[in-house]
Amino acid sequence: MPRAQSDDKKPRSRPTISPEAYENRLINKAYKAVEKRIDNGEATAAEYIHFLRLGSTKEQLELEKVKKENKLLEAKAKSLADSSEIKELYAKVLTSMRDYSGNMFVKEENLDDEDD
């Protein structure tokens, strides 16, 4: 017969896949513990202040600002990557145009004349 779990044992959590998942699990446990202390009236002043700050308008605006700054940085990085691709494309086009117009042979002839 399978053994029944006793009430004093907590079920084991699944092993985490990544360090980020592990960190998130610990953060979640900490929030639950603080929530229990707040419900029991045993929370510290620092714990109350932490959650009051999270709910403030200033905090919300700062969070929004950081998100927009991240989007701006991503757009700048994309723009830089695009501009380098465009430069490479222009260089290829110019080389092709020179080759097509016959300037490639003129350059070679000029190099031969300079050696004399």
What are the residue ranges spanned by the domains of the chain?
72-116
**Cβ neighbour number for residue 34 with a 10 Å cutoff:** 17
Q: Are 47 and 38 in contact (CB under 8 A)?
A: yes
Tokens 């080389």, located at residue: 95
Helices 57-101, 103-115: crossing angle, 10 deg rounding: 70
**pTM > 0.85:** no
Q: Is residue 25 within 8 Å of residue 16, measured between CB atoms?
A: yes
- Rounded Cα–Cα distance for residues 70 and 51 (Å): 25
Maximum CA pair distance of the chain?
101
Token pair 């190099």: residue: 111
pLDDT tens string, the chain, 116 residues long: the values are: 455 555 556 666 676 688 889 899 999 999 999 999 999 999 999 999 998 888 889 888 999 999 999 999 999 888 888 888 888 888 888 888 888 776 655 555 555 555 54
